[in-house]
Amino acid sequence: MTSPAIPSNFYVQQADGKVLVSWNIVAGATSYQVQRSTDGVTYASIATPATNQYLDTTATLNTLYYYQVASVSSGGTSSACSPAKIVPTAAGIMSLAALRLASQQRADRENSNFVTVPEWNSYINQSAYELYDLLTTVYEDYNMAPVVQFTTDGSQFFDLPNGTNYSSAPAFYKLLGVDIGVAGGTNGWVTLKRFDYIARNRYVFPQITSTAMGIFNMQYRLMGSRIMFIPTPSAAQTVRLWYIPRMASMLADTDILDGVSGWTEYVIVDAAIKALQKEESDVTALMAQKQALIDRINASAMNRDAGAPDTISNTRTRAETWGWGGGTDGAWGGW
């Protein structure tokens, strides 16, 4: 007796940390052997279902797996089909590998090599940055970092969080607000406003310092990677920063897109647009879909202060010459 045929149309899908593998029924097969690997070389059999699908509930989250299947009959076991890889993730989260595949499918370029894998990854990251900026703008407190506090020392300039200072607080991206403690304490706070740059020398003659009671209406302004106060704050004043952290870049297939759950469709559509624009294809339909997603985001962001919405505009850039993923001074690299 001969061995059964190799299973065809083998697919892998994942959701909520589980992986579903499926394939066409093979004539004469009495069961199937599902095999799994973490390196694409050494496989282990994890199940022998009698039906043409299997749900793997033992996979580890955010781990790259390779799956293949062979058919079994009384005549023997077939060779395994071509393997397929996937990264199981938690609900509402997608891996870079899954985002790339979805973007390729949306652009109908799954088997095209005109856009390379590194280019797809770059498009996806740029699209994710764009979505993150949109969400952190229309939702006034979206993905807020833990509040950072520091004590003044009589200086006018202080470093913003960069991922290594302030007890390794997340690196700064967008400012939400600045407070100063009353009487040098932390049980009462005064909200500070941003000053117009033209007023930067207002207190030079004579140079006086602000007090904890805010008598001189102390204000702030972002200056590159630092925050500047005017007038110069007295020493031993407690300041706290409310801010949005930078978004981490995705590089490995197992890296995940988190923090934008519910809006990953935006990343998929926008990455497909970028890829099709490279080959000068028509992106009209995708642009309409992207605008519809933007409209939905704006419409759902009705949680601003009624009658007096906050406007988040303080972003760490230099001058007005910035772009996605890198300003003229390189300050935006990787957000």
Q: What would the pLDDT profile of 55-81 be if each residue is shown by its tens digit?
A: 999 999 999 999 999 999 999 999 999
User: Could you tell me if residue 173 is inside a domain?
Assistant: yes
Q: Tell me the pLDDT tens digit for each residue of 231-245.
A: 888 888 899 999 999
pLDDT at 98 (0 to 100) = 94
Q: Is residue 275 part of a domain?
A: no
The residue out of 50, 71, 86 marking a domain boundary is 86
Q: What is the average pLDDT across 164-170?
A: 94
pLDDT in tens, 217-231: 788 999 889 999 988
Task: Give the domain-ending residue among 245, 265, 291.
Answer: 245
Owning domain of residue 206: 148-245
Range of weakest confidence among 159-163, 179-183, 298-302: 298-302
Between 208 and 6, the higher pLDDT residue: 6
CA distance 75 to 84: 26
Q: How many domains does the chain have?
A: 2
pLDDT at 152 over 70: yes
Higher pLDDT, 106 or 315: 106
- pLDDT, tens digit, 9 for 90 and up, residues 8-18: 999 999 999 99
Domain boundary among 245, 272, 303: 245
Mean pLDDT of all residues in the chain?
Answer: 86
pTM of the model: 0.80
User: CATH no. for residue 49?
Assistant: 2.60.40.10
Which is it for strands 18-22 and 256-257: parallel, antiparallel or unpaired? Answer: unpaired
Residues 78 and 160 in one domain: no
Full DSSP string of 246-296: PPPPP-STT-EE-S-TT-HHHHHHHHHHHHHHHTT---HHHHHHHHHHHHH
The backbone torsions φ and ψ at residue 297, rounded to the nearest 5 degrees and listed phi first, read: -65, -45
271 falls within a domain? no
